[in-house]
Amino acid sequence: MSLLFAAVIILSSCHSKRVVMKGEPGQIVQPQLSIAEKYSAMLGVDKDQIQNGRLYAFIDQWMGTPYKFGGLDHDGIDCSGLAFLLEQQVYGISIPRMTSQQVTVIKRKYEEELQEGDLVFFDYDGKKFSHVGIYLQNGYYVHASSSKGVMIVKLHDPYTYKYFSRCGSVSVMDDANSSSGK
């Protein structure tokens, strides 16, 4: 009987993690209090500043997922896969799957203008735009690190910032603009 009880607890706790993605992509919903408290502490902001419940629930579901080149599931994900899924599931925006193509769909910004959901690009191993992350707030971004998996890091981290190369918001083109070549 206690084994059955333990199984129910484990399964319900796994299920409850999926329930936190409320609303539809593109909709801003209030975060659960536990999510707001957790990420406000991580980002060094007041819990009232954690407003996009879908964003932080998404991050919570993926946090710690190992890095896997070409991966797109909880067994392993790469940086562009994380950006691809986040933009789609949180904001309802379709972007290309590869980092080299993702950089082509942003409207460039200055670092000081970054907002939640903007993409940040890095040049690792001498390759232009070889890594991507998603800006959060207060100078932090989430990404899939090749050594530590999905994690949140300060943009001005001494190791990563020297490779920072470009940032911007995803440009959403409507059908009229995309068919006319704009």
Could you list the active site residues?
Answer: 79, 131, 143
User: DSSP per residue over 11-80, as a string?
Assistant: HHHHHHHHHT--S-TT---PPPHHHHHHHHHHHTS-GGG---HHHHHHHHHHTTPPB-TT-EETTEE-HH
Dihedral of CA 102/119/147/38: which sign? negative
- Cβ-contact 45, 108 below 8 angstroms: no
- Cβ-contact 144, 67 below 8 angstroms: yes
What is the distance between the alpha carbons of residues 135 and 154, in angstroms, rounded to a whole number?
10
Kindly state the DSSP code that residue 163 receives in the 8-state scheme. Answer: T
